[in-house]
Amino acid sequence: MDTQITPPPTDDEAVAIVAAMQALWPRPVIAAEETKRREATWRFSGRWWAKPLPARRDRPFI
């Protein structure tokens, strides 16, 4: 990085300025590929309408 600072700062000031410039300068970011999440699918297990018809019939309690 070629940068000129005028008026010439002290050594400590120059170090602080260069550190601040490096911290604020944008750098390319390599993003890791996201793991693909499993799509939510509609499941019928445990639903009252998924049981066989005879199991869904209410028995009369007399």
One-letter amino acid for residue 57 of the chain = R
**Taking the model in full, what pTM does it have?**
0.38
- pLDDT confidence of residue 19: 92
Return the closest-CA partner of residue 5 out of 35, 54, 15: 15
Q: How many CB atoms sit inside 10 A of residue 17's CB?
A: 13
Quick one: average pLDDT of 5-34? 86
- pLDDT confidence of residue 20: 92
